[in-house]
Structure formats: structure tokens, C-alpha cells
């Protein structure tokens, strides 16, 4: 494909990422508030062992009633309540990726679509936070935590799957899907450019037609 439309888009996307990333890091503590609140509210409503949650900068902390063994001040093992932490930037980078792609594609009314996309990304970010909390509590809390929860192997496998889906699939793919939905004309132009680029090549590779006649 000629480096016209797609090449310019990729170059501008990288430039916009470099410009927007520092702003995103600066505003991360405020951007983290909606997904952390949504994740904490959902966890508290669904699981009786959740005691509460709080936000510490860009970190989401879940306070639980799950008892785990930990090293005490004098070296002896003591029981303590588990409080897993999740770093918001692990699941929030899709926000800056979406805005960079919208600006790079010169999307019509990019600011409005960016705001709508930012709101739609909040549940995806909350999903990642919830399932990392669940993973830390159910799968990484050791024998004491497992005995307290008494979850079945099927439940543990579903938690592991939900965590992997949120971290590997939902977080990076969700902003791309939103960008595709907001830029149907731009995507169509990319396909048209690819089709026009490939047409001459196919005709050149076609063998010449031999004419036969009576002598």
C-alpha cells in the first residue's frame, strides 16, 4: 500500500501519542476516579467479603475480610486482612490511544467522539481492575485465602479467564473498536486505497492472451 493515507495516519498517531501521554499521566489521578469507583462499587455489591475500597493517587485499593498469613514485626506469622492494589495506568492507557487515533485520522467532531469514547471505556477499565482484585484475592492469597473463600476450581478458572481477557484483550482492543466505529469513512478510504494499489499489480501479472487463427 502506498505510504499516503495509512502512512500519514500512523505517523500522526505516534506524534499525538507522544504529545498526549504526558498530559494523561498528569491527569491520571482524576481519570482513574470513575473506573475505580465503578469497580469498587461492583465488588462491594457482589462479594460479601469486600469491606470497602479507596483510591490512593492512581492506585485502587480493595479492603477485604479475607484472612491471610503474613510476617509479623517479630518474625512470627500472624493473620491479617488482605488489601490488594491495582495500578490504574495498566488499564487506562486505552484512553490516550483512542484520542491519539481520533486526532491522527482527523475525525469529524473528534472532541465529541473522544468524550463519548472516554465514557464508554470506563466499564472496560473497571473490568480490568475488578478481575485483578479477584485474581489477587482468589488465586494469589495462598492457602489461607483459598480456605477462607472456598471457591471451586471452576470459579477460580473463570476468574483467571476474566483477568486474562481484561488485561490482554479488552484493554488494548476496546479503544481500537471504538475508533473503527467513529471512523467508518476513514476505514473505507483505507480499503479503497488498498484496492486501487493492488489492481495494477494483478493486471500486470496476468499472462497475455494468445490469438489463434486459420492459416
Which residues of the chain register pLDDT less than 50? Answer: 1-2, 202-204, 212-215
- What integer pLDDT is reported at residue 151 of this predicted model? 95
- Residue 1's pLDDT is 41
β partners of residue 187: none
Strand pairing report for 77-81 and 67-71? antiparallel
Structure confidence at residue 8 (pLDDT): 87
Contact predicate 64/49, CB 8 Å: yes
Q: Is the Cβ–Cβ distance between 121 and 95 less than 8 Å?
A: yes
CB–CB of 141/68 below 8 Å?
Answer: yes
- What's the pLDDT tens digit per position in 173-200? 999 999 999 998 887 777 777 666 655 5
How many angstroms separate the CA atoms of 128 and 165, rounded?
8
Give the pLDDT of residue 204. 47
pLDDT of residue 5: 76
- CB-based contact 94:124 (threshold 8 Å): yes
For residue 206, what pLDDT is reported? 53
> Is 58:88 a contact under the CB 8 Å cutoff?
yes
Tell me what pLDDT residue 169 has: 96
C-beta separation of 186 from 2 below 8 A: no
Extract the C-alpha cell encoding 98: 483512542
Q: How far apart are CA 109 and CA 113, in angstroms?
A: 6
Amino acid at each position: 500500500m502506498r505510504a499516503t493515507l495509512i502512512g500519514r495516519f500512523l505517523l500522526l498517531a505516534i506524534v499525538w501519542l507522544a504529545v498526549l501521554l504526558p498530559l494523561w499521566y498528569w491527569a491520571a489521578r482524576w481519570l482513574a476516579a470513575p473506573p475505580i469507583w465503578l469497580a469498587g462499587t461492583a465488588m462491594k455489591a457482589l462479594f460479601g467479603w469486600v469491606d470497602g475500597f479507596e483510591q490512593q493517587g492512581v492506585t485502587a485499593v480493595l479492603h477485604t475480610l479475607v484472612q491471610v498469613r503474613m510476617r509479623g514485626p517479630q518474625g512470627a506469622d500472624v493473620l491479617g486482612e488482605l488489601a490488594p492494589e491495582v495500578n490504574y495506568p495498566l488499564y487506562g492507557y486505552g484512553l490516550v490511544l483512542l484520542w491519539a487515533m481520533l486526532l491522527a485520522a482527523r475525525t469529524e467532531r473528534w472532541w465529541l467522539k473522544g468524550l463519548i469514547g472516554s465514557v464508554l471505556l470506563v466499564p472496560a477499565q473497571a473490568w480490568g481492575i475488578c478481575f485483578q482484585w479477584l485474581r489477587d484475592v482468589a488465586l494469589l492469597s495462598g492457602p489461607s485465602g483459598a480456605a477462607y473463600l472456598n471457591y471451586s476450581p471452576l470459579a477460580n478458572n473463570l476468574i483467571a479467564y476474566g483477568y486474562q481477557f481484561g488485561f490482554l484483550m479488552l484493554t488494548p482492543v476496546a479503544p481500537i473498536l471504538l475508533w473503527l466505529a467513529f471512523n467508518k469513512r476513514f476505514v473505507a478510504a483505507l480499503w479503497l486505497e488498498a484496492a486501487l494499489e493492488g489492481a495494477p499489480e494483478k493486471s500486470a501479472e496476468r499472462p497475455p492472451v494468445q490469438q489463434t487463427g486459420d492459416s
